[in-house]
Every structure is written in C-alpha cells, then in structure tokens.
Amino acid sequence: MAIVVGYVPTKEGRAALSRASEECLLRKTNLVVINSQRGGRDFDPEEAQRFEAELARVEAQLDEEGIVHEVRQLVRGQDPADDLISVAREVDANCIVIGLRRRSPVGKLILGSNAQRILLDAACPVLAVKATD
C-alpha cells in the first residue's frame, strides 16, 4: 500500500506533496508522486525538461526526509484524474492527496474538473489540500 500524490510545481502542488509526505511518515507507508501531462500537440519539450528538473529536486527532498518513494512522470494523453486514479488502483493506495487552488465565487460553484473526478471516482479516500498564502 502507498499514498499517491498528484504533483505539479505550484504552491498547491507543493502543499499536496508536503501533506502526503507527512501522511507517509504517520502511516509508515510509501509515497508515489505523479506528475501527469497530456502530451500530444500540447507537449512542450522545454516545459517537460523543467518538470524533470523539478521532479529531481522532489526526489532529493524525499530522500533527505527518509521517505520511501517512487516518482512517475506520465505523458500518456490521459487527464491527470485518470492517471491518479489508475495509479492509485495499481498500488492499492491508502489515499490520494491533491492540491486545490482558490476559486472566485463563481468558480466555487464548479470544483476543478480533475479534482472533482478524483473525489468522485477514486476507490480510496482523497485528501484535498489548500496552499497557505
């Protein structure tokens, strides 16, 4: 079993990673970090290199914290929600941790589509984390 976290290099992504790391230490379990990109026409090789460098920093941080982990950069043409749910099922995840960003009053009526799909479709509990200001 493991904890799966969706990670992008934003304050919300870092908040999710931080909380997922804490959960791993509390539950004495492994961490699977997922960075999911659609690919195809939207694929930007320069952005992919930046993400690779960021994920290397994440791995170094997790090594330093003593967290057993696996980092996966997925470019399979799927929505991030599909990737997170699929990996969570594959590793029999204890939970999925995702970051949420603040929304306008109108935006609050509609939760982000990926977050909403993960919350509704995941077979395990989902922990949604807000970034601090």
User: Within a 10 A sphere around the Cβ of 62, how many other Cβ atoms?
Assistant: 20
Whole-angstrom Cα distance, residue 57 to residue 93? 24
pLDDT tens per residue, range 1-55: 899 999 988 999 999 999 999 999 999 999 999 998 766 566 677 777 888 899 9
Whole-angstrom Cα distance, residue 80 to residue 61? 23
Whole-angstrom Cα distance, residue 33 to residue 66? 15
Look at residue 45 and give its three-state secondary structure. Answer: helix
* Helices then strands, each counted (H, E), the chain: 4, 5
Domains and CATH numbers, the chain: 2-130 (3.40.50.620)
Whole-angstrom Cα distance, residue 99 to residue 129? 5
Alpha-carbon dihedral 94, 95, 97, 102, rounded to 10 degrees: -160
pTM: 0.86
Whole-angstrom Cα distance, residue 128 to residue 83? 17
pLDDT tens per residue, range 50-92: 888 999 999 999 999 999 999 998 877 778 899 999 999 999 9
